[in-house]
Amino acid sequence: MKVVVGSDHRGFEAKKQIKAIVSELGHECIDAGTTSNEPVDYPDLAYVAATAVSKKEADRAILTCGTGIGMCIAANKIKGIRAALCHDELSAQISRGHNDSNVLCISGDLIGEVLLRKIVESWLTTKFSGGRHKRRVEKIGVIEEGKNPSEI
């Protein structure tokens, strides 16, 4: 699997760990930046990573900033992106299993190394369960088209 990893300056240290985890699990890791602790605007990096997933140049993306909130908001503006802010293994598993998230957003400031590894591993290994959840995910796409999902 191709996984794009991106961060702003506050998520830079966490991004280094994430890249190592992604590679250790045997996935191709594409670094979308940033390359240092120098201040940078998180929407710029979220756009690059989420667009790669949207255009199918990558399978998934993992983004980190101070809280993960900014990256999540920015990534979700890209059509076809289902970014999830996860703070634990369960939210990572459910975001994949029920919501088929294709972008994981993590706090660079609030998550320690051990939990970071558990979240990333859970998210990368959990498969979408389909079934009733497939219909719901399809309705998200309907909303992206500006339509009322209850009318389909």
| Residues tagged active-site | 65, 98
Which residue from 42, 57, 32, 52 is spatially nearest to 10, judged by alpha carbons? 42
In the beta sheet, which residues pair with residue 6? 63
In the beta sheet, which residues pair with residue 3? 29, 60
Which residue from 11, 12, 113 is spatially nearest to 68, judged by alpha carbons? 11
C-alpha span between 21 and 135 (Å, rounded):
32
Which residue from 74, 94, 72, 91 is spatially nearest to 83, judged by alpha carbons? 72
Q: Is 19 helix (H, G, I), strand (E, B) or coil?
A: helix
